[in-house]
Every structure is written in structure tokens, then in C-alpha cells.
Structure 1
Amino acid sequence: MFSGFDYGSSNCAMGVMDNGLVKLLPLWGGQCFTPSTLYAADRGLICESVAHNIQSDSDREQYIQQRSAAIQQASQIRRNLNIGEQEKTLFVGEDAIENYIDFPEEGYFVKSPKSFLGVSGLRQEQVAFFEDIVTAMMQSIKQQAETSLQQSITQTVIGRPVNFQGSGGEESNRQAIDILTTAAQRAGYQQAEFLYEPLAAGIDFETSLKQDQTVLVVDIGGGTTDCSMVRMGPSHRIKVSREDDFLGHSGQRVGGNDLDINLSYKAFMPLLGLGSKLKSGLAVPSEPYWNAVRTNDVNAQVEFSSRANLELLEQLCRDASNVELVNRLLDLQQHKTNHQLVRCGEQSKIALSDALEITQPLGFIEPELAQSVTRELFADAIQGPLNRISALMKEAVAQAQCTPDLVYVTGGTAKSPVIRDAIQQQLGDIPIMDGDHFGSVTAGLTKWAEKLFG
């Protein structure tokens, strides 16, 4: 059986063909989209879960040899934490979020691990750790999909952004694809191919076109924005090779996660002392606040959780004019609830798609604490990422050396009126079409899988 697999920065989904139509498979609780999150009782237990769930005897034996020291350490971690051999220690999707909220200080939580792929300067042990995180997620999602389908899935097409990172070029992309390929093999796929995510979204849209057109596909996802200029229509979709139809590509690691981060910094961090003064009259430094919300930046998260940062925050509390505010940041660091703060930014962003102003509860920081957030503040907070998204659209059009007949917008982030207004201002009177903001990439990947494996 073959599938299309959208291993996204915000959500994951899997599709199969059913009587000529794409069917998205229920994963958890009947939902077809699961958050791209993982929670483990201890980060050292992730490799143990991976080893247990590798189905191929030869692949499992090879993996155990490669990770022998880590797996031995995992056994010791279980004993130290008094965790039984049959007790579940790893959770994915909504289960991961629930466990993180209930036990933020006790386990290891990661959101959008795809955002870390292709990061420059990783040591080999860090690459291996990311392999394990992605593998564990793929194993869990594949098992859920096969349970829904009551059939094994052995072949898949996985979506990929044009560029995984803003820097690093093809070396970063190769590193990311290598990690995904290794993870797919360990998850049990006998064949795994990759397709650009904006092209996948375009393939899904193309089936509805009655005439040939040049389309700018703008896919604004959780971790990346990708733009493609593509010739589409009845005379193009019958082709097996589409290389000549792809006129321009651009992509960068900027997406919904960046909007959440910028909004969280702008809207919530003043409640934690950002912009306040020290007793000396100087401003409280902003770097610890940025590090707290940059949940898609490995180095920032390491720095925020470090002992050196703890000592810095304790000193800031002693030096602050408003100790109560800065102490909230110290509590955020000690209780590991910074991911929860950024999740509040995401919830605010979503709510502001339908309202001009919302009140966001922040009771996990302090009982009854809340903050009013307006669409105007949101628009102001995200100007930096929005400018980068606009530049990517310009770049794709410039590469193609022609003007698109229409713009096809997809990706969950593109639902925001603020984003839509920016796209319209950038492109003028060119018609804008909306796709299935969450399912179009999965549908396109599934249709391409049918061409390759059907």
C-alpha cells in the first residue's frame, strides 16, 4: 500500500487513494491532523522506543549496534525513574501536548522538530538524536494510520520544503533529507520519495483547473514558506515528468511558528518584565526573553534552560525595579513552561482570524493572569516574518520571468486575514484562490504517490 505523508512543522497527516479519491486517514481520536509534537519521560528513553518499534530484524540489530551505549543508558534511566518495562514513556501529537502541560518539569518536550532539520554545525550525536526524534514520530504516526487502514503501508511520498533552513544551502537540505530518509526506513517504509510541498499543493489544485494557467503557489506552513511558479492545467497534469512546468522556486524557514514567537514576545513578555527598568535605570536585557520564545531554535533553547541563564535571571530579579514581573520569567525558566507560552501565542493568532481582539488566559504563569491581544498588535508584531514571506513571493516570480495568472494560497498560517492582506498588497489585482489550508499538501503527495507506485 502507498501513501502521501505530510510530515509538517505544525501538523502531520497521511493520505491514501480510495476509489480514485484522496482519503485522509484518522490518526488520533478520529482526527486526520496530529500536532507535530513529542514528549518523552526522559530524552534518553527516545532511542529505546525507536529500537522497540523497528519491524525489520536486520534494521533493528543494526540500529541497536549503532546506539548500544544510549540504549544501555536508557535501561539505567528507567531504573532511576522507577519506570516499569511495559510502562509507556513516549507520546506523540495531542498526547504529547497533554503530558507536557501536566508534567512540564518532569519530561522532554519538543514541538516542530522538522524546524531543526538542516541546522548548520550539528555534531554527529546531535544528528543521531534528531534521527531518533523523527523516527519515533514517524513510527507512531504510521502505526496509527495502519490501524485505521487495517493494512500495511510500505511506500510513501513525503513532503519537503524548498529549503529547510534560511542558510546552509544544499548541504543543509541534504542533511535534512538524509535524516528523513533514515527515519522513514526505520519506521518501516520500503520506499520513500520526496516532493516539494508547494508542488504537492499545486498538484492537488490542478485537478480543478479547466484551462492551462501559470500559477504562483504560496504555501505558508508552520515552519517554512515555499513559493513555486508552475504551469498547470489539462495539458500539463497528464505528464509523468513535470520538471519543465516548474518555472521558479523559493523557500525559507519562516512560517507560522515565527508568527507565534513574535506575537508571544510582543504581547506577553511585557508581563514578564520586558521593557521594564533595572534599579540602575537601564533597561532589562531583551535576550533572555527572545531565547524563551524561540522554541524553533536549538541554541536558544539550550541557552534559555542553561545554568548560566538561571544565574542571570536570579541576578536580574535582584537588580530589577519591578521584581514581581521579572520573577515571572524566572519561574517560566525553572518550570519549563516557555513552550506553553508560545502555544498561547499560537492560540491567539488562530483566534484573531475571526476577531479583532481577544483575551488570552495565562493562568499557568499566575492565577487569573490574562492579556488582551488585538489584530493590530499581531500585524505589528509579525512585520519581520511578513517581509520575508513577501520577498519569497517576489523571488519566485522573478525566477519565472513572467506574471502569474492566479495565486493559489495554502498552509494553515495563510488563513490569517493579516497574511491574506499582505499577499494581496504584494500582488495587486491578480486573483487569489484558497485551497484546503491543511489538507492540500497531503492530497497532492498522495496523488503523486499514485503516479509513482500505483
Structure 2
Amino acid sequence: MSSPSTDLPRDFCAIDFGTSNSAVAVPDAARPGAMRLVPLEDDKVTMPTAVFYYAEGRHDADGPPRAFGRAAMAAYEEGVDGRLMRSMKSILGSSLIDQVTDVGGGRGVKYADMLAGYLKRLRRQAARDGHEPRRVVLGRPVYFVDGEPERDAAAQASLAAAARAVGFEDVHFQFEPIAAAFDFEQQADREQLVLVADIGGGTSDFSLVRVGPERIQRLDRREDILANHGVHIAGTDFDRHIELTGILREFGYRALGPAKPGQTPREVPSGVYFDLATWHLINTCYSPQRVIELRNMKGFYGDPRHHQRLMTVLEERLGHELAHRAEEAKIEVAAGGDCMIDLGLIESGLSVTLSEGAAMSALRDDIERIAQAGRETVERAGLKPSDVDALYFTGGSTGLTVLADRIAADFPAARPVRGDRFASVATGLGLHAARLFAA
């Protein structure tokens, strides 16, 4: 990861704060003028964007007892008493950012403080070589919130405030797909137009960028950014559709109520199922008032087993486990074939089979909307699909082959290139930060 200067200052870093995974780039002491990705957990340069709050333990100077990244996921999977938080980036731009949520043990934590705590962990890892960064370039999606500029601006302001709260004095932003274009540019041997498809856990972003060896050292690249566009649809939406289609039907989603003479059976109310399939809303299903309300709805269900299973999920707080199994099922089906989802933790012997066809049917509309955003990006630049020289795929969700193939189908003349799905954006942000702060 080279940069334009042979002698970089050491007081800055670049952070890719992702919906699912995060990464950090810092100046490389061993290679003057270069950047490197920081190992965040052992030798791994990416870390799940996850925090686990322990129900027991004392506060210290950093706050309530908690674990981050893979350690957070391990604590959750091992059944430790507490609460796992993921998809924290999805909270930006919503009213939840200033609200307090229960994390167990009688503790409440403000969502904004939760986000800041994770950024503090990343900043601390960036300072492992003794140089504490006070300046940062943060990645951001093209849109935090689709079609609502005020909420989008508020989302960036909240992220900037969290960064300043943990010690960053100078905060800059760069669009994530443009950062990925800078990563792609390192291997470009000629000038070309690249359409970057950055599809992660929360957003699908596209940027059409002019890259080339003669442009790589320029700090001001505004004239090279021909268009950008995005939609708030990505991996967590895929997981939600898989959970609703492949799991929650066994718990009453889209089921009918009891048959009554002269009446058509009515569908069971679906609000709780959508909340159970949305990571940052799952905990709202556990409030005592809501549990009582849903317990009293037993008569709404034509099949009492559905209601019994739903209450087991709510009373034993198994919603995050169901969401986790939906994510695993998506990954397994994406690799090809059907998969069996074991739900024995809810009811002995309970399982469902998710067919590849059913999964793709559940995801089809979202995949089409994402592909449309790619086409619209090129149209916004006043160009045609045939003008695109390369497609650069990055972000965890581009591992879904059917999605990448669908996007590529609209640009048959473009050369598809796959970057590091989890580190391309951080690498590009590092390159941009080096040029910015060296200047």
C-alpha cells in the first residue's frame, strides 16, 4: 500500500467502519511513505463489527464490561449471559442513536456510546506502535439513508461526533466505493473507467471513477469521480429475507388464524417477525409489555405450535441466535445447493430445509434493485455500459455469486475484478489518508 510521500507523519489513521466488519490502516514504520493494515485480533486485519456486553462484571475506566469482534461473537455463541450488538452502523441516521438500550445486568447503554466504544477500540489498536492517531479518514457509504438528505447528514455528523468523543481531533470522510477505486488503481497499467461495486452488510454502493498510473498521486480527484449512487440494501437485508422465508414461517409468519364459520381466516400480525429478523430491533421484542401482549395473542394462531415456538424465542431471548442461523444458511446456500437449518434449541427435533430456489426467490427483488443502482450510476455520468472498462467487486456480500453475476450481466464488455472483500476499502482509505495528511 504505497503513498505519495517518503516521510509520512505518524499521527493519523484510516478506518473502515463497516456494518459487518471493520479495518484500520496506519503509516508503516518499516516502509517510509507506505501504509499498512493493523492486526485487530491476533494476526487478522479485519474484525467483526460486534460488541458483547457482559451481564456481570464491574465498570472500569473504559465503561461496562464487554468484548469486541470475534471475542464478542465467541461469548455470544458460548451462551455467556449478556447481549450481543451487531450492525451498529445501521443505527446512524435513525432516532435510535440517542436512545438507551438494555444490555443486561440492569445496565443501560446509549447507542451513541456503544458506537463510540467500538471506535475507541479501533483507535487503540491503531496506536499499538506507540503513535496515538489524532487525525482520521473515515469511510462512509454513498447514502447512510436513501432519499433523505437531512437524515443522511445527521448520520455522518453522529459518526464524526463519536470519532471526536474518543480522541480524534481532525475528522475527514471519503466514500467507501471511491476508496475501493483507489485500491484498484494500484494495479492499473493504463487509464480506464472502473465501476466499483461495494456491497457490504448495510449498503450497496457504486462509483464510476477514472483511474490510471498518471492520476494515482493526485490529492484532488473530484474530476475523476464521474458518478456515485447507492441503495440501503445489502447483506443484512439478505439475512432478513432468508430468516423470514426459511425460518420464521415455522413460528407463525404469514400463517393464518383459526377458521371461523362464515369468515375467511386472517393472517397472523407480522410486526414481531420483521423486528425479530432485524438485528438492531430484536431486543425490542423482549420488553415485558410486548411479551405480555404477544402471549395474549394465542387465539390469533390457527396452529398453536407456532405461538408456542414464538413465545419460546421471546422468553428465552433467542432472537439473535435465529438471525445468526439465517446468516449461516445464506452463506451455505450461496455456495450451492440446499441447506438444513437446525432449530432444535426451540423445539426438540425441529428443523427446516432451505432450498437454493427458495432462497434466490426471496433475494431476487433486492438483487434487481442493487443491479439497477449500478446501471443508474453509469447513466448519471451520461455514459453507456459499453464505456465501462472494469468492474471492481468489494464488500462481503459480493461473495454471493448470483449477485456479482447479475451486476456483471449489465456490463458484458467490462473486465470483472475481485478485490479483497473485507480489506479493499480500508486499503483505499489508507491511500487517501496518506495523500491528504502528507500534503
1:285 Cα offset (Å):
2.7
> 2:98 and 2:354 mapped to 1: Cα distance?
42
Alignment of 1:234-245 (within 5 A): 234-245=213-224
Structure with a larger share of its residues in helix: 1
Q: What amino acid sits opposite 1:441 in the alignment?
A: V
Which of 259, 280, 283 is residue 238 of structure 2 equivalent to? 259
Contact (CA 8 Å) 2:196, 2:393: kept in 1 or not?
yes
Shift in CA distance, 9/348, structure 1 to aligned 2, threshold 3 Å = same
Name the counterpart of 2:49.
Answer: 36
Give the SS at the match of 2:296.
Answer: helix
> 1:364 and 1:339 mapped to 2: Cα distance?
13
Contact (CA 8 Å) 2:52, 2:73: kept in 1 or not?
yes
Name the counterpart of 2:106.
Answer: none
173-182 vs 362-371, which moves further: 362-371
Contact (CA 8 Å) 2:25, 2:430: kept in 1 or not?
yes
**TM-score when normalising by structure 2:** 0.85
Confirm whether residue 15 of structure 1 aligns to residue 15 of structure 2: no
Alignment of 1:352-371 (within 5 A): 352-371=333-352
- Over aligned residues, Cα RMSD in angstroms? 2.6
Shift in CA distance, 238/372, structure 1 to aligned 2, threshold 3 Å = same
Q: What amino acid sits opposite 1:397 in the alignment?
A: V
Name the counterpart of 1:222.
Answer: 201
Shift in CA distance, 318/30, structure 1 to aligned 2, threshold 3 Å = farther
1:414 Cα offset (Å):
0.6
Name the counterpart of 1:396.
Answer: 377
Name the counterpart of 1:139.
Answer: 120
1:308 Cα offset (Å):
4.7
Name the counterpart of 2:192.
Answer: 213
Name the counterpart of 2:145.
Answer: 165
Contact (CA 8 Å) 1:230, 1:247: kept in 2 or not?
yes
> 2:347 and 2:145 mapped to 1: Cα distance?
36
> 1:174 and 1:441 mapped to 2: Cα distance?
21
1:146 Cα offset (Å):
2.8
Confirm whether residue 129 of structure 1 aligns to residue 110 of structure 2: yes
> 1:400 and 1:359 mapped to 2: Cα distance?
45
Give the SS at the match of 2:19.
Answer: coil
> 1:363 and 1:37 mapped to 2: Cα distance?
26
Name the counterpart of 1:386.
Answer: 367
1:346 Cα offset (Å):
1.4
Shift in CA distance, 229/172, structure 1 to aligned 2, threshold 3 Å = same
314-323 vs 196-205, which moves further: 314-323
Name the counterpart of 2:321.
Answer: 340
Name the counterpart of 2:72.
Answer: 96
1:367 Cα offset (Å):
4.2
> 2:303 and 2:153 mapped to 1: Cα distance?
48
Shift in CA distance, 395/331, structure 1 to aligned 2, threshold 3 Å = same
Alignment of 1:287-436 (within 5 A): 287-296=271-280, 298=281, 302=284, 304-403=285-384, 404-436=388-420
Confirm whether residue 189 of structure 1 aligns to residue 199 of structure 2: no
Contact (CA 8 Å) 1:362, 1:368: kept in 2 or not?
yes
1:319 Cα offset (Å):
4.1
Give the SS at the match of 2:322.
Answer: helix
Shift in CA distance, 308/388, structure 1 to aligned 2, threshold 3 Å = farther
Shift in CA distance, 34/150, structure 1 to aligned 2, threshold 3 Å = same
> 1:284 and 1:255 mapped to 2: Cα distance?
28
Q: What amino acid sits opposite 2:178 in the alignment?
A: L
1:122 Cα offset (Å):
5.8
> 1:155 and 1:393 mapped to 2: Cα distance?
33
Contact (CA 8 Å) 2:98, 2:111: kept in 1 or not?
no
> 1:423 and 1:194 mapped to 2: Cα distance?
27
> 1:329 and 1:360 mapped to 2: Cα distance?
17
Q: What amino acid sits opposite 1:12 in the alignment?
A: S
Contact (CA 8 Å) 1:209, 1:234: kept in 2 or not?
yes
Contact (CA 8 Å) 1:135, 1:187: kept in 2 or not?
yes
Q: What amino acid sits opposite 1:410 in the alignment?
A: T
**TM-score when normalising by structure 1:** 0.83
> 1:344 and 1:125 mapped to 2: Cα distance?
28
Cα deviation 1:181-204 (Å, max 9, x = unaligned): 222122222322111000000000
Which of 4, 24, 45 is residue 14 of structure 2 equivalent to? 4
Shift in CA distance, 125/282, structure 1 to aligned 2, threshold 3 Å = closer
Shift in CA distance, 317/124, structure 1 to aligned 2, threshold 3 Å = closer
Cα deviation 1:235-277 (Å, max 9, x = unaligned): 2222210011111111222111111111111111122222433
Shift in CA distance, 401/132, structure 1 to aligned 2, threshold 3 Å = same
Give the SS at the match of 1:261.
Answer: helix
Confirm whether residue 155 of structure 1 aligns to residue 131 of structure 2: no
